[in-house]
Structure 1
């Protein structure tokens, strides 16, 4: 029987379990053009499960290229208010190998592995009476996820939506945004382009967002919770503009996959709260290990015993031992390399890629965790 006509597909949500990224993969069910070199890929679970996430979060796709698996992180443009599928909207740049591979190979029926969702860039983490979403280029995707959720669940919300693009035809989701503008009474749209196009006329704002244009697009921006996403130079300019305008930066949030300029190293996971990590001697859940000795690591699922040399991370040791742990950013941001620590103590210096309750449950990020004692990992 054709999968699309199989009556088994049509199940109530309470009859389905949430998607588990460690057990199931995604199936492509749709590919659509959004703008020049921009496509939306829509997926469903291969095991009839539903998707639970916060609008604005991201997933990591494992692309099976001929050169080997390629990990790429993409923000979800879909809304969790429609939990039977998820979508990513991606722009193919000249040197973007992963996205170009997706354009050439992802068709309906193709299966890919994915990890997540993850990330804290969501209005659910920062509830407010009024919002301002500022984006440029494909940075519109988390804003679209949040706006779609608001349209489905709280359409009266006061939202200013500012999107910048190079040309009118490069405004991603323009038609849908204009439709939402006619349906959501509290939504105010502001588009800004840098140059005119021969393909269509333009009578809106032109140039780049600055201290003069921002008050025209959002006169009360100082009263709003602001979310910003786009190229790093764009986000730096917005941040500097808001700081100069006296905006309370506690109400400013931006999405970025770049490494932070300064990393704060938290107390080692599993070590005493005071006095810092013990370099030698007995530690909770582990055995006594001299400070300079290689540290034993047991990869239980792979049935491999390895030794982590001083300064190496769990991920580096896994690779050297032939144990595969998926990893994308390797900066402690994306959460793809999250694994369960069964026993032992590690020092973990991450950048938001893991939640407090996950740490409490024994999970670590392999890319930024260094063992302080002998440890056992579910990998």
Structure 2
């Protein structure tokens, strides 16, 4: 007989109660989604993008446990369960234990949910989600929440991965995108899978890709998550294109931020029109005094020197020169390798001098 009485009020889960694992779903090698329920039947209340800290029993560790923080990949619009998606790195301890040992029916203690990385409360209506690897998890939570709440989303969703087979949640995202025109998926991979053609974006995420993927990026609220070098590249790309960084938010792979006071200062270098710099062209014996916003290429031309150049967007690599002293702020689009950068080379077309700089020209 069906119970047609009004639904009784359901308690909200508190972290004094353990979580019971209900499923372990492999997502890709060394990555799985772990779903939990509250044994009491309590519902989960949190903001999309927040995180949980799990107490994981690992033999041999001090006290027999380790505490690891994971972003919640499920949505609060589905409150009967909560899911975290974890990827084990080569040196992982807690995540490795979960992949090898955690099974349905087992219980763990957890602390949270907590965290400030969420689009709840924002007045923005157009979003740009940029992530790399498992940094996709908070973006999945926010996207699913907007989907479930019946909004017409306006999301450009960019995820970067090593190979197409390593894009977490790809099928689920494509399913959602096939049912709403407001979810625009853009995947970037470093290399294709063997024997599987890839027709999407390939290489390192850069300014040119950003302009193609989201031409209206200046109008969007940006949320970014991934390794720090990746987020630094995203910040550099946005700042270099004149984006208002007050509309930029990020969550790192390190310990997530719980309070505003813990929010780290983003001490990025932004070339300034009012700050002067000096470039000494060592081979020619010429020195140019310029603004930080001038490029090395422009400075060379201003004093009658010729550095061969092509695209002037940091793509072709024609203007590569060796820097022998000082610092530059370089935002390139793939025209120089990491090995060349380590060896001291720069692309003159997209390098801004900071203070005194010397180059072999």
TM-score normalised over the length of structure 2: 0.68
Alignment equivalent of 1:44, drawn from 4, 14, 37: 37
Name the counterpart of 1:224.
220
Q: Distance in 2 between matches of 1:159 and 1:13?
A: 35
Name the counterpart of 1:81.
77
Name the counterpart of 1:57.
50
Shift of the 13–63 alpha-carbon distance from structure 1 to 2, 3 Å rule, reads farther
Q: Distance in 2 between matches of 1:31 and 1:64?
A: 17
Please give the per-residue CA displacement for 1:343-379, whole angstroms capped at 9, x wherever unaligned: xxxxxx95159xxxxxxxxxxxxxxxxxxxxxxxxxx
CA RMSD of aligned residues (A): 2.2
Where does 1:102-251 land on structure 2 (aligned, <5 Å)? Answer: 102-198=98-194, 200-251=196-247
Name the counterpart of 1:320.
none
- Is 1:66 the counterpart of 2:62? The answer is no
Unpaired segments of 5 or more residues in structure 1? 1-6, 259-328, 336-348, 354-379
Please give the per-residue CA displacement for 1:12-64, whole angstroms capped at 9, x wherever unaligned: 8743210011x201000000011222100000012110000000000000001
Shift of 1:129: 1.4
Shift of 1:98: 0.9
Shift of 1:248: 0.4
Q: Distance in 2 between matches of 1:14 and 1:245?
A: 53
Q: Distance in 2 between matches of 1:166 and 1:30?
A: 27
SS in structure 2 of the partner of residue 212 of structure 1:
helix
Shift of the 79–209 alpha-carbon distance from structure 1 to 2, 3 Å rule, reads same
Q: Distance in 2 between matches of 1:184 and 1:65?
A: 43
Q: Distance in 1 between matches of 2:6 and 2:238?
A: 46
Please give the per-residue CA displacement for 1:131-189, whole angstroms capped at 9, x wherever unaligned: 01000000000000001101101341111100111101000000011111111221111
Shift of the 233–215 alpha-carbon distance from structure 1 to 2, 3 Å rule, reads same
Shift of 1:125: 3.8
Name the counterpart of 2:14.
20
Shift of the 207–24 alpha-carbon distance from structure 1 to 2, 3 Å rule, reads same
Shift of 1:127: 3.1
SS in structure 1 of the partner of residue 210 of structure 2:
helix
Please give the per-residue CA displacement for 1:99-152, whole angstroms capped at 9, x wherever unaligned: 100101110000000000000100104231100100000000000000110110
Please give the per-residue CA displacement for 1:324-355, whole angstroms capped at 9, x wherever unaligned: xxxxx5xx9358xxxxxxxxxxxxx95159xx
- Is 1:98 the counterpart of 2:91? The answer is no
Q: Distance in 2 between matches of 1:188 and 1:26?
A: 35
TM-score normalised over the length of structure 1: 0.65
Q: Distance in 1 between matches of 2:88 and 2:251?
A: 19
Q: Which runs of 4+ in 1 moved over 6 A?
A: none
